[in-house]
Structure 1
């Protein structure tokens, strides 16, 4: 039986207005998050991964704003609510933010306030979403620290962030994300700036917590190795759009979009010839304010098939279905 859809994103558009013009950071993003499963969001820096996460929680920095689309929590049920239609400062949105949906921020070294102990910060998160006393919130904070594998939580609850290692700070960040007992957790680059041993421990912790709590996990990363280990489905993003969506096995065995293939070629392999140069993707992600005409990837694509790639936009990936936003992939489907 298919897992329950916890969150459905449909044609989400976000733009930033400035004196230099309008920047379309997200340009019609669609995907589903399912309870108990992990959706990996992958792409280079500047593709819109973190803006997607912040949009879901309605914490996009000004002058950014949602200009279109829907973010449906509990879609298809009587409890369905469109987060895109809520006031970011409303009581309902504050209940969702940190309560129904938790966020693990990208940088463990700076995500916590240096002015308060980690206990104070977790206790605040607990009391924000639960009607409990300070003593009960403190006990819950200690329980959360123990749950995420921090030794001596009764002592560490009084520590300041600068007294903890990067790995312990990331565990504190995970504890804060779980303080409201969320059904959905967004992990934005949860292993950034951590050594490989600590990275493995954090990923194992996320897997365990997901299995125990049946969490819908949205994992944002640029590391294809993390995607291979953690994800059930993968959404590949480029310049604010999902250019490929598929089960993780299909993405690695038979990627359909040239950008996905280029990302995979750039992954180091233990089977490679010693001292062989790594494959690179030529050029850089264009600025969202100066998008290329046609397919956004065509200036960097070694597989473009002619004027159609430069003049027309390929169809978007159908929501919830495996596919690629690419004219070459369309031609392949028609030939089959």
Structure 2
């Protein structure tokens, strides 16, 4: 088995007011793996993904036995060198696409900045616009010259996902990535992400409440509850088969997570 992209052991995380979010957490992410995080709201899924790369701020406190992300420990990711590495090695598609764009800069300028900061060695607007069209963005040339407030939430989500598909990096974090997408676009995007992961040795952290999508996408699933990873297992034949009682109840109640 190849070396993990992410490996953490016996990690505990505390909020600025001292509340414990993680409890002796152990977790790995491997190349070409789509590792889904599932669990009820507040279980620590998004916090896990964001904290791996030093995004929570200095007021959050950690203790751990081992912490390795792309060969670097937490102190590296929390410092100025981590900012540079994040832009070149990791891409995040946030749950709320409104947070991804500056309101007073044109979309084209922000997209070009993504590439110039290290997502890829060069950018081709024609390639980008063609992908936008394929993803269901109408009049892509018009959207290219628009500001963020001129786009719908679904269009912003598609643009975020297009950058995820176009960039060259090692880890992709998808936080509820299909929110605001129609069924056809959702199917197209998920298929493209799976292909990119398999062909490019990309590790994907896939956060979702939609167990239908998780079942079709994930190669491994971790179930989170109250800050603990209570179960982690491979997905076989596109079926979720947990062994813990909580996991089984979560799987039975999948209709409530759609």
Band of TM-score, shorter chain: 0.7 to 0.9
Contact kept, 8 Å, 1:103 with 1:186, in 2: the verdict is yes
Deviates more, 1:165-174 or 1:180-189: 165-174
Alignment pair present for 1:172 and 2:153: no
Q: Which runs of 5+ in 2 are unaligned?
A: none
Counterparts of 1:240 and 1:251, CA distance in 2:
26
Contact kept, 8 Å, 2:88 with 2:119, in 1: the verdict is no
1:81 — aligned with what? 72
Structure 1 residues 144 and 11, CA gap change in structure 2 (3 angstroms): farther
Alignment pair present for 1:221 and 2:208: yes
| TM-score, length-scaled by structure 2 | 0.84
Which runs of structure 2 are paired with 1:293-312 in the superposition (5 Å)?
A: none
Alignment pair present for 1:127 and 2:116: yes
2:94 — aligned with what? 105
2:8 — aligned with what? 9
Per-residue deviation, 1:47: 0.5
Contact kept, 8 Å, 1:100 with 1:180, in 2: the verdict is no
CA RMSD of aligned residues (A): 2.9
| TM-score, length-scaled by structure 1 | 0.66
What SS does the aligned partner of 1:210 have? helix
- Over residues 234-286 of structure 1, what are the superposed CA-to-partner deviations in whole Å (9 max), with x where a residue is unaligned? 00001111000101239946421111111111123xxxxxxxxx79xxxxxxx
Structure 1 residues 156 and 28, CA gap change in structure 2 (3 angstroms): same
- Over residues 314-336 of structure 1, what are the superposed CA-to-partner deviations in whole Å (9 max), with x where a residue is unaligned? xxxxxxxxxxxxxxxxxxxxxxx
Structure 1 residues 33 and 141, CA gap change in structure 2 (3 angstroms): farther
Contact kept, 8 Å, 2:240 with 2:251, in 1: the verdict is no
Per-residue deviation, 1:221: 0.9
1:39 — aligned with what? 35
Q: Which runs of 5+ in 1 are unaligned?
A: 75-79, 269-277, 280-336
Per-residue deviation, 1:129: 2.3
1:63 — aligned with what? 59
Contact kept, 8 Å, 1:145 with 1:172, in 2: the verdict is no
Higher helix share: 2
Deviates more, 1:256-265 or 1:142-151: 142-151
Number of residue pairs aligned between Structure 1 and Structure 2: 254
Counterparts of 1:265 and 1:130, CA distance in 2:
40
Q: Which has the higher contact order (CA 8 A, sep 6+)?
A: 2
Counterparts of 1:243 and 1:250, CA distance in 2:
22
Counterparts of 2:213 and 2:192, CA distance in 1:
13
Per-residue deviation, 1:107: 1.4
Per-residue deviation, 1:215: 1.2
Counterparts of 1:179 and 1:222, CA distance in 2:
26
Which runs of structure 2 are paired with 1:228-247 in the superposition (5 Å)?
A: 228-247=215-234
Per-residue deviation, 1:143: 3.4
- Over residues 44-85 of structure 1, what are the superposed CA-to-partner deviations in whole Å (9 max), with x where a residue is unaligned? 1100111111111211146323333443134xxxxx322x12
Structure 1 residues 87 and 73, CA gap change in structure 2 (3 angstroms): closer
Which runs of structure 2 are paired with 1:272-283 in the superposition (5 Å)?
A: none
Contact kept, 8 Å, 2:35 with 2:220, in 1: the verdict is yes
Structure 1 residues 69 and 223, CA gap change in structure 2 (3 angstroms): farther
Structure 1 residues 131 and 230, CA gap change in structure 2 (3 angstroms): closer
